[in-house]
Amino acid sequence: MLIVQKYGGTSVGNIDRMKNVAARCLATQRQGHQVALVVSAMSGETNRLLELTRQLQEDPNDREVDVIISTGEQVSVGLIALAIRAAGGKARSFLGHQCKIVTDSSFSRARIVSIESAPIKEALDAGEIAVIAGFQGVDEKGSITTLGRGGSDTTGVAIAAALAADVCEIYTDVDGVYTTDPNMVPTARKIDRISYEEMLELASLGAKVLQIRSVELGMKYGVKIHVRSSFSDVEGTWVVPEDAAMEKVVVSGVTVAKDEAKITCEDLPDISGVAGRLFAPLADGGISVDMIVQNQAYDGTTDLTFTVPKGDRKRTVEILKDKVPELVGKDGERVSYDDEICKVSVVGVGMRSHAGVAKTMFQLLAAENINIQLISTSEIKISCVIARKYAELAVRALHEGFGLSLPPSERVGL
Amino acid sequence: MLIVQKYGGTSVGNIDRMKNVAARCLATQRQGHQVALVVSAMSGETNRLLELTRQLQEDPNDREVDVIISTGEQVSVGLIALAIRAAGGKARSFLGHQCKIVTDSSFSRARIVSIESAPIKEALDAGEIAVIAGFQGVDEKGSITTLGRGGSDTTGVAIAAALAADVCEIYTDVDGVYTTDPNMVPTARKIDRISYEEMLELASLGAKVLQIRSVELGMKYGVKIHVRSSFSDVEGTWVVPEDAAMEKVVVSGVTVAKDEAKITCEDLPDISGVAGRLFAPLADGGISVDMIVQNQAYDGTTDLTFTVPKGDRKRTVEILKDKVPELVGKDGERVSYDDEICKVSVVGVGMRSHAGVAKTMFQLLAAENINIQLISTSEIKISCVIARKYAELAVRALHEGFGLSLPPSERVGL
């Protein structure tokens, strides 16, 4: 088999852990497999480098920041290659520009366009372990780019796709994807198998195990992803195409996101095009809007409520206070916001064939006297915005209520 | 004018010093010049990275070490580019693979083969300050290489040659090249102008201001080098082609090197080819031999004495003990060594036209009762190996004796 192993920052966080990575990939190779590694920067290194840039400029130039922070992975690949050699193996490091991980020029959040797999295959065929820098690429002009937080996951899956690898193992400091955050709910269970679609929703909704883009790529190229711990040998979570067994599970996971703020515009004229006119300047400002709800009032006015990333809240309110008077002929006092919210969500491909999940969710929250402020649904998820202080209570209630602390086979008759 | 400024590790050692570099190069640009910078790693960084590699392997693979240590300069160029932008300027960083500083594949001590100056010129013509990583290059396969300790000097001069720059300013933590080490001799004077040949001898003999290779390149391509302090505005030392005025100065500088050891092979048969047979295995072992002296004895035997870098002394003795018995039919007891030596040298292009410099040097040492163990001369330098304990005494005596504490114009009638 050809196996891609991606190791995160904590898995290569110090010299001893690097030796552990070397031992693990050599053990895999000795079982007769070809092994390509993708590695992150040592934990803390990217933040250390970012801190240096911020001492110079509050909003530093993205191209130069990428030059600087990509060194974290560069040091890691060199050290891991040395660790493998020290353990008696053969290894060769590859940087983004050496196996031509070509991306667009969106510095700090670039997307991979192509990968030249030939140099990596050459190394593998020579019996070497290829040690590839995660997170980084080069644009067409040869400038260094980075893929955004968690970008090494994406490098891992992209390399697996380019090499047509049999599996992409994502090694991290937890032993898989859980039904919810185990720090919040002690009865959270590790999920054995999950579909790309569910994983995509979970990642979008705040579960931080995999970068969303890596799941998208896995789905697009059919890469089997195995999320597991670098500190143990137990099986982790397989992220794979949906199958019949998965549909029997109505709810796979519960998530909570605390990084959004709620914005409300009241008393807008209820005429066509109002929402479009309000959201156009936000889109121009690069602010992504989530969970839009419009209420129609009786007096010909309407309220519009939506959420934005908390970091964009201040700018959103400023832009709207500029625009709302044009629309309603009044001052901007009608724009209000609430930072003290959270979004709890339940996800599961089984929802497609099971009615009543929404009803159950609302009942479970109501039973705890939690008021629902906003609701949005997709085919496989339901999200509710609630007051932030109820976050933990809501997650626990939903986790128990949907039977997620039981093994999937026992969650009958929901 | 087109000016290349090279900043060493102490000059970019922290964020404040980087701001100082930005201010300095912007001031130069505002005077109407085009400016290309070459920068080293922040002081201490290369050693920090080397220490990490040594925790994995005692003698780590050179290719991977270069991948790791080249990140020091990569971080510096990004930060300096940000510092220039923060100060209101325009800047763009260049790594070895981005302006194609192609070297041979001698990792850790590579030599520059060619530089693609077009991308740098493009940046300069756009009014940007080009910030180029020193010390690093790429070989023809795209592997990262480094140029050895002090390699950023060489990058600076090579970039100046490639751009046909008017001057290459080497910024360091001292304000120029001195007649001798000012820490040893308080009356040492800064040299205003010195020829490439003299600088080459001084660098070879232990003056650490410039990497030898950078002086060779400067001489080959006629690059005017200005060694100066990044912490002041005073003129430093110009390293330039020899001119008539320089020849009037008999001795330009005094150096001392303490990093060699003396090896003696006694009672060798005085037949042709002995020296060749002894030195062949040393050359094969990559040991560079300096200051060879052969004494002929009356009984048909000969003694051979020479110096090697102290780090190679142990290996040299081992190799010789293997070979000497073959040559003399005895055991290896005839090989002895002495680590407690030093080499004091005087350098000056004026020696070509002034007789008696050697005589004066020997008299000055004799006057201090310092015994000379080995002597070697070139057209513009005389070196003597003496007991190490006399190093400071000898340097001071020579510095005073040759009038180096006086301005050149007053050093008449030597």
Identify which of B67, B91, B93 has the shortest CB distance to residue A77: B67
**Mean pLDDT, chain B, integer:** 92
Between the two ends of chain A, the Cα-to-Cα distance in Å is 40
**Mean pLDDT, chain A, integer:** 92
Half-sphere exposure of B73 (CA within 13 A, CB side): 34
**Whole-number pLDDT of residue A94:** 98
CB A200 within 8 A of CB A347: no
Report the residue of chain A nearest B90, measured CA to CA: A61
Bridge-based pairing state of the strands B2-7 and B91-94:
unpaired
Identify which of A67, A75, A85 has the shortest CB distance to residue B57: A85
Mean local confidence (pLDDT), B347-358: 88
Mean local confidence (pLDDT), A222-232: 93
**Percentage of the residues of chain B whose pLDDT score is greater than 90:** 74
State how far the Cα of B220 lies from the Cα of B211, in Å rounded to an integer: 15
Return the closest-CA partner of residue B164 out of B224, B77, B208, B242. B224
**Contact (CB<8Å) B60/A52:** no
Architecture of the B244-414 domain: 2-Layer Sandwich (3.30)
**Whole-number pLDDT of residue B269:** 81
**Whole-number pLDDT of residue B86:** 96
SS3 sequence of chain B: CEEEEEECCHHHCCHHHHHHHHHHHHHHHHCCCEEEEEECCCCCHHHHHHHHHHHHCCCCCHHHHHHHHCHHHHHHHHHHHHHHHHCCCCEEEECCCCCCCEECCCCCCCCEEECCCHHHHHHHHCCCEEEEECCEEECCCCCEEECCCCHHHHHHHHHHHHCCCCEEEEEECCCCCECCCCCCCCCCCECCEEEHHHHHHHHHCCCCCCCHHHHHHHHHHCCCEEEEECCCCCCCEEEECCCHHHHHCCCCEEEEECCEEEEEEEEEECCCCHHHHHHHHHHHCCCCCEEEEEEECCCCEEEEEEEEEHHHHHHHHHHHHHHHHHHHCCCHHHEEEECCEEEEEEECHHHHCCCCHHHHHHHHHHHCCCCCCEEEEECCEEEEEEEHHHHHHHHHHHHHHCCCCCCHHHCCCC
Which one is predicted more confidently, A379 or A410?
A: A379
Burial of A16 (0-12, 13-18, 19+ CB in 10 A): exposed
Lowest average pLDDT, out of B39-43, B63-67, B182-186, B349-353, goes to B349-353
pLDDT classification of B256: cutoffs 50, 70, 90: very high
Mean local confidence (pLDDT), B278-297: 86
Mean local confidence (pLDDT), A74-88: 98
pLDDT tens digits along A388-409: 999 999 999 999 999 999 988 7
pLDDT exceeds 60 at position A308: yes
pLDDT classification of B410: cutoffs 50, 70, 90: confident
Q: Name every residue whose Cβ is closer than 8 Å to that of residue B180 and which is 6 or more positions away in sequence.
A: B188, B253, B254, B255, B256, B395, B399, B404
Report the residue of chain A nearest B55, measured CA to CA: A15
- How close A104 comes to chain B (CA, Å)? 17
**Contact (CB<8Å) B71/A67:** no
- How close A143 comes to chain B (CA, Å)? 7
CATH of domain A246-414: 3.30.2130.10
**Whole-number pLDDT of residue B38:** 98
Lowest average pLDDT, out of A329-333, B304-308, B362-366, goes to A329-333
ipTM of the complex, rounded to two decimals: 0.85
State how far the Cα of A100 lies from the Cα of A133, in Å rounded to an integer: 11
- Chain B partners within 8 Å of A56 (Cβ): 15, 18-19, 79, 82-83, 86
- Chain B partners within 8 Å of A92 (Cβ): 63
Phi/psi of residue B157, nearest 5 degrees: -70, -35
Lowest average pLDDT, out of A328-337, A401-410, B16-25, B392-401, goes to A328-337
**Whole-number pLDDT of residue A239:** 96
pLDDT exceeds 80 at position B414: no
**Whole-number pLDDT of residue B116:** 96
pLDDT tens digits along A89-106: 999 999 999 999 999 999
**Secondary structure (3-state) at A253:** strand
**Whole-number pLDDT of residue B14:** 96
- Chain B partners within 8 Å of A144 (Cβ): 95
Lowest average pLDDT, out of A241-255, B36-50, B394-408, goes to A241-255
Task: Please state which of the four CATH numbers 3.40.1160.10, 3.40.50.1820, 3.40.50.720, 3.20.19.10 is assigned to the domain occupying A2-173.
Answer: 3.40.1160.10
**Secondary structure (3-state) at A194:** strand
- Chain B partners within 8 Å of A68 (Cβ): 74-75, 78-79
pLDDT exceeds 70 at position B57: yes
Which one is predicted more confidently, A144 or A280?
A: A144
- Chain A partners within 8 Å of B49 (Cβ): 75
pLDDT tens digits along A138-157: 999 999 999 998 899 999 99
pLDDT exceeds 70 at position B253: yes
**Whole-number pLDDT of residue B413:** 53
Mean local confidence (pLDDT), B46-68: 94
Query: Domain ranges in chain A?
Result: 2-173, 246-414
